[in-house]
Structure 1
Amino acid sequence: MVQSPHLGLLFLAVTLVHSSEGHAKVFTRCQLSRELLRYNFPRALIPTWVCLIEHMISRTTEKITNHNNSYSSYGLFQINNKDWCKKGRKGGNCNMKCEDLLNEDLADDVRCAKRVYDRIGFKAWPSSYSYCKQKNLPDISRC
């Protein structure tokens, strides 16, 4: 059986495309802190953001939380499809697909999370925020 050299290249290309799409990332506390700083979150609020994210989803980008079958929250910032994104198509107040919140690329997630925060503040994440207000915030001073 003779194999075409193009077949090998096609397989490699398909493998590379597949491996670059849709992968989730799990951040350490310090990685998350540095990433938030890189995206210009105010330094004073980083411990609160880290606490919220840890409480909601343990610092992973692929989490989907279903809320009593009425709506779902997506990604690192748990942005909901009730107000901010739409499943399967662009929409909501962030004009984005919810599925785009589930990958390693945080640029769109950050834009939407900042929009949510600018409009509602941490009240957009009520259970996590009340948890974080009553706890010592994570120490990120060694990050």
Structure 2
Amino acid sequence: MIRPTTLLAILLTIWVLTHSTHGHAKTFTRCQLSKELTRYNFPRLLIPHWVCLIEHGSSRTTDKVTEHGNSTSYGLFQINSNEWCKKGRKGGNCNMKCEDLLNEDLADDVRCAKRINDRVGFNAWPVYITYCKDRRLPELTRC
């Protein structure tokens, strides 16, 4: 028979292993986000547009999940599950699991966000139209 302390240790180990492999969330400051987008080769002139979209969509947080009724938006860029990713399995136009957009590794998020922007433009994000299009964009010159 397994002792309760041994069982507790085993369960704790399993929990740590399963949760540590998913990555961690990160919340960026405005300047950190601007620098990160520059590092991923976003066009300099478009970075204020991206920062505006991200601020209003995810509050610059990588683990943001927003339910919309018939779909869900994931991660820093709030990428929607209807067309671009699939919940629980790879799929969509970005061929990725939506849950992979929830960690601080931005490489796959950036690839998908750029693909969306290349195909549809910023109009793919309703939050961009509401808060950023033809409006004052975030000031980044001090970054």
Matches within 5 A, 1:82-97: 82-97=82-97
Give TM-score scaled by structure 2 length.
Answer: 0.84
State the match for 1:114 in structure 2: 114
RMSD: 2.1
Letter in 1 for 2:22: E
| 3-state DSSP of counterpart to 2:108 | helix
- Runs of 4+ aligned structure 1 residues displaced above 2 Å come to 14-22, 126-130
Superposed CA offset, 1:96-120 (max 9, x none): 0000000000000000000000000
Q: Which runs of 5+ in 2 are unaligned?
A: 1-11
Q: Distance in 2 between matches of 1:17 and 1:126?
A: 35
State the match for 1:25 in structure 2: 26
Tell me by how many angstroms 1:126 deviates: 2.3
Superposed CA offset, 1:17-55 (max 9, x none): 844633100000000000000000000000010001101
Tell me by how many angstroms 1:134 deviates: 4.1
State the match for 2:126 in structure 1: 126
Give TM-score scaled by structure 1 length.
Answer: 0.84
Q: How many residues matched?
A: 133
Q: Which runs of 5+ in 1 are unaligned?
A: 1-10
